Structure 1
Amino acid sequence: MILIGQYDSPFVRRVAVALQHHGLAYEHRPWSVWADAESIAKYNPLRRVPVLVTDDGESLVESAAILDAIDGMVGPERALLPPSGEARRAGLRVCALATGLADKAVSLLYEHVLRSGDRRSPVWVSRCVQQIGETLDLLERERAARGGDYWLGAFSHADIAVACALRFLGEAHPTLVDPARRPALAALSARCEALPVFSAVVQPLHVAV
């Protein structure tokens, strides 16, 4: 298989962590959505990452769909979310909140990178900051209420999604991250980042357009 995209993307990284966790071999092509856009377009015309090219040549796009396919590859006993039921719904909800948060963090980053001074939209910036902050607060309350080492009791896609989003947010917008204010999230992030499957797929944030 081939994984396309850079590890500084929280979406690419969550796929890479799952591949590492399952011991699934893949070739990594760290293509930039800017510098390598036309190369990516051969696999995804949206020029977005991640893209996972399967051994039979199928190009899977969007991290949630890719991870669902990976769960299917390894079977229900090894999958990082149950195939159905309350735990699956809970995990998917956390993943949606975490990836939505990451998407807002990406949007906010590009607002600063692509626009300068009075060209930036204060309304858009304020909205993104509010959405990020309130989502973090919700995730903090829910993580603290659940207790334990991991969100669903055992390591899952929920933990991966949240940890990858938190790392990206901390690098892209450090002023929006306050571990003392959200200790439950900080503890989960530290626990995940200490795992070999996370440390194997890490890349400092770099944006070049």
Structure 2
Amino acid sequence: MILIGQYDSPFVRRVAVALQHHGLAYEHRPWSVWANAESIAQYNPLRRVPVLVMDDGEALVESAAILDALDGLVGPERALLPPSGEARRAGLRVCALATGFADKAVSLLYEHVLRAGDHRSPVWVDRCVTQISETLDLLERERAARGGDFWLGAFSHADIAVACALRFLGEAHPSLFDPARRPALAAHAARCEALPVFAAVVQPLHVAV
């Protein structure tokens, strides 16, 4: 398998963590969506990452779809979410919230990188900040209420998605994540980042367009 994309992307990294967790061998091509856009386009015309090229040449795109395929590959006993039921719905909901605020953090980053101060949209910036902040508030309450080492009791895609999104947010917009204000999320992120599967796939944020 070939994983395309840089580990500073929370979406690429969540796939890489799952691959590490399952012990699935892969080649990593740390292509940038800007500098290597045309190379990525050979596999995904949207020029987005992650892309996971399977051994038979099939190119899987979008992190949730890739992870669903990996769960199918390793089977239900090893999958990081069950194939159906309440736990699956709960995990998918947390993943959607985490990747949702990560996506807003990416949008906010590009608003600052691609637009000079006078050309930025204050309406768009305020909207992104509100969406991120209120989602973090919700996740903080829910994580504090659950307790335990992992979100669903056992290590799952929910843990990975939240931790990867929080690392990206902390590097891209440090003012938007105050660990003292959201201690349950901060503890969750620290617990995950201490795991070898996270430490193996880490890259400081670097944006070059």
1:194 offset after TM fit, Å? 0.2
CA deviations over 1:24-81 (Å, ceiling 9, x no partner)? 0000000000000000000000000000000000000000000000000000000000
SS of corresponding position for 2:60: strand
CA deviations over 1:147-187 (Å, ceiling 9, x no partner)? 11100000000000000000000000000010010000000
SS of corresponding position for 2:137: helix
1:117 offset after TM fit, Å? 1.3
CA distance in 2, matches of 1:161, 1:149: 15
Where does structure 1 differ by over 6 angstroms across 4 or more consecutive aligned residues?
Answer: none
CA distance in 1, matches of 2:117, 2:153: 46
1:127 offset after TM fit, Å? 0.3
CA distance in 2, matches of 1:117, 1:154: 45
Q: TM-score, normalised by structure 1?
A: 1.00
Matched, 1:157 2:160: no
CA distance in 1, matches of 2:154, 2:182: 21
CA distance in 1, matches of 2:207, 2:140: 28
1:124 matched residue in structure 2 = 124
2:4 matched residue in structure 1 = 4
1:105 offset after TM fit, Å? 0.1
CA distance in 2, matches of 1:78, 1:132: 32
CA distance in 1, matches of 2:163, 2:48: 21
SS of corresponding position for 1:171: helix
CA distance in 1, matches of 2:128, 2:187: 24
1:201 matched residue in structure 2 = 201
CA distance in 2, matches of 1:27, 1:71: 19
1:8-19 alignment, distance < 5 Å: 8-19=8-19
Q: TM-score, normalised by structure 2?
A: 1.00
2:32 matched residue in structure 1 = 32
SS of corresponding position for 2:77: coil
1:142 offset after TM fit, Å? 0.3
CA distance in 1, matches of 2:166, 2:73: 27
Q: Point out where structure 1 has 5 or more consecutive residues left out of the alignment.
A: none
1:183 matched residue in structure 2 = 183
Number of equivalences: 209
CA deviations over 1:68-122 (Å, ceiling 9, x no partner)? 0000000000000011000000000000000000000000000000001110000
SS of corresponding position for 1:48: coil
CA distance in 1, matches of 2:117, 2:5: 30
CA distance in 1, matches of 2:44, 2:54: 14
1:192 matched residue in structure 2 = 192
Q: Point out where structure 2 has 5 or more consecutive residues left out of the alignment.
A: none
Q: CA RMSD in A?
A: 0.3
SS of corresponding position for 2:150: coil
